[in-house]
Amino acid sequence: MDNPIPGNLLTTAMAVMPHTDVDRALQMALSLDVPFWPQLPNYSYYEDMYVQAAEHFPGIVLDLEKRTLRFSVDKFAEELEAALLRFDDPTFFDVSETYSAVYHRFLKSPDLAARPAIRGQLEGPISFGFNILDQDERPILFDDTVRPFMLDFMAKRLNAQLARLKQLNPKAFMFVDEPGLQFLFSAMAGYGDLKAKGDLDQFFAQVDRPRGIHLCGNPDWDFLLNLDLEVLSLDVYTNAEVFASYAKSIARFLDRGGVIVWGIVPTGFEAFAQEEIPGLLQRLETIWNTLGAKGIDRELLISRAMLSPATCCLVNPDKERTVERAFAAVNRMAAALREKYLR
């Protein structure tokens, strides 16, 4: 694939942040090489990633006071026709100022055109469908009427946002945030891998490039690495040994031009306190050495690598402080690795 997403050990991060100060959160996001607009659920429930994805979705029942997001089959039937009438209107699918003041502040940030890329994100259809429950406590992913509409709807939401970002930087790209993918193959899921593969292929066939998946869990990596993506962002701090065992699929992904975002710096208060940058560098390079021993060219891997924190974290006792320190550590690690491999 012809991939405009930069590699060469540039830095980015996943979007969910614990901040309640919008200016501070934007400052942190802009401190990385490839900035993004933060999602700040502690600032407002509208800034929650599921709530933002649900904007204009027919059937949604949003309670801001109770901070709940539900679905009504009857309301879906009532609102579906009106939504379909606006299916060719990009403004209907972009994130409004009500649903993210942060997004619209980010769009006004200076010098975004000078960045190697910028990034947006939206909750993906699998995770959205698992998380949103109807009046019978049933995930809407299992509703054969709602699910096809949801795939089309989320694809249009991604495309509207990407088009908006590309006006500011032609190398903009999107993360489809899919934490729910790690549950696909569990006995509890009730939604098998073949069905998921078909639905995701249908979904990504409608999503403009460049695009990829971000998740912090441990899914079936063969399944994920063989989807038609330009970028994959993962928590390699936690999943290093498992991920490194999929060398053949990783090699195919890189050979197709794919970029891997290596989430290596923990953002949890206790885990971060136990780590130092030299140890994290060694941990990451050990993974790369393992992959090298299995035939993956180091120069190719570096050229198609970015660095990021390992996960989002909203619950630290020091609120945003550890997350901010993790962002700074990612930048320091990237600088050290670029000095070693790219000078």
Residue ranges of the domains in the chain? 10-341
d(CA 133, CA 33): 38
Percent of the chain at pLDDT exceeding 70: 97
What distance lies between CA 112 and its chain's CA centroid? 20
d(CA 319, CA 20): 9
Tens of pLDDT along 118-162?
999 999 999 999 999 999 999 999 999 999 999 999 999 999 999
Tens of pLDDT along 283-341?
999 999 999 999 999 999 999 999 999 999 999 999 999 999 999 999 999 999 999 99
pLDDT at 1: 62
d(CA 209, CA 218): 25
Nearest to 18 by CA among 332, 281, 311: 311
Q: What is the mean pLDDT of residues 190-196?
A: 71
pLDDT at 184: 67
Per CATH, the number for 10-341 is: 3.20.20
